[in-house]
Amino acid sequence: MDFSKSAALLERARQVIPGGVNSPVRAFRSVGGTPPFIVRGEGCRMYDVDGNEFIDYVGSWGPLILGHRPPMVLDALREILEVGTSFGAPTEREIDLAEAIRDAFPSMEMVRLVNSGTEAAMSALRVARGFTGRNLTIKFEGCYHGHVDSLLVKAGSGLATLGIADSAGVPEAFAATTISLPYNNLAAVEQAFVERGGDIACIMVEPVAGNMGCVPPAPKFLEGLRAICTKYRALLIFDEVMTGFRVAFGGAQGRFGVKPDMTALGKIVGGGLPIAAYGGKREVMTHVAPTGPIYQAGTLSGNPMAVAAGLAMLRYLKSHPEVYEQIELRTQELCATPPAGVTVNRVGSMFTFFFTEQPITDYDSARTSNTQRFAQFFHWMLTGGIYLAPSQFEAGFMSAAHTPEDVAKTVERAKAFPG
């Protein structure tokens, strides 16, 4: 494939944008090569400036569950363009979207719309601290909750080590409010609460991890977190920015039957446009301004274009539950015959090919993957017209626009990998 036009655009972008990209993973630093600059998407396909065509398994990192440019979303956007793109004032559609989210996620008795997954996670964390009057947070190594200062930490050598900043610019005092523990290790959580339970405001967790690759929760892990939080009167926060409306219509909490106190949502609730939401129990959310002392605001929150697109997407998914059965079946077919020496993790329509033979249950086991071999596989697939996430430690996503023929082509290309 020719990527010369993309290469020229990348060089131009580097002069005005750090690394030439507006989000680090797009730079292809972990796999090498030139990222294709996309000009158009249609169905399950993307097209770049060099005229290359790709079957897309990134789907804007999860929200495009119906593929690119689904008709109902385009119709909703056309309708909004006739009335206005931003008001900074209340609209009825905001209520409609909040009600649609609440109906799908009964644990979210009250909902606040925001603009990004980072903002949703950051706000939920602030509310948990304000509501409980405590300062410490438990997160899990390998789980990403946006670029919130206090959550950009990694685990130390102990089971309950206070975090060390993973990014320059994060004050040590911020990182020290976070306890980072191994994912799927309930004993470590219990130990942390025995030692610091009176100081811990919340546990924040991806109920299905997606930012160290797709890693499902171990049996009883989520249930155990629920029980511990109830015992110590801490809040359990599910970060469903990736899993919400993706692994099931009611998200991971619906799929696994575990009810958190608060939830952060993103991606899919905007139908492909930038929007997110957080919410939870009424007794918790009434502490948010203007009804309570915990301040959170956003000028563009509830943007009418994103709200309209999200409503169109969620209403379609609710009225077409067969979408979930279809995409899960096709993801199962995609993952059935991986290359030799590869472990596949899958939950619903999320998946990752880990280039290691050992089971992947946490960040340490994920890091046993052969990232060099993954990079070779990534470029083998890319030059064969298959677009995967450009990192070993990211999830892939199926859409309803992928056909059996698309999946078969992808499987054949993967089976032919010579690496």
The catalytic site residues sit at: 144, 239, 267
- The Cβ-side half-sphere exposure at 179, using a 13 Å CA radius, reads 23
CA distance 157 to 154: 10
How distant is the alpha carbon of residue 184 from its chain centre? 18
- Residue ranges of the alpha helices (H) in 197-338? 221-232, 251-256, 282-285, 304-319, 322-335
Q: By the 8 A CB rule, do 355 and 377 touch?
A: yes
3-state secondary structure of 354: strand
φ and ψ at residue 282, rounded to 5 degrees: -60, -40
Q: Where are the alpha helices (DSSP H) in 46-144?
A: 71-81, 92-104, 117-132
Please give the biggest Cα pair distance in the chain. Answer: 61
Burial class (CB in 10 A: 0-12, 13-18, 19+), 313: buried
Helix (H, G, I), strand (E, B) or coil at 179: strand
- State the residue for tokens 């039957």: 257
**What are the distances in angstroms from CA 25 to CA 10, 51, 261, 394?**
14, 22, 31, 10
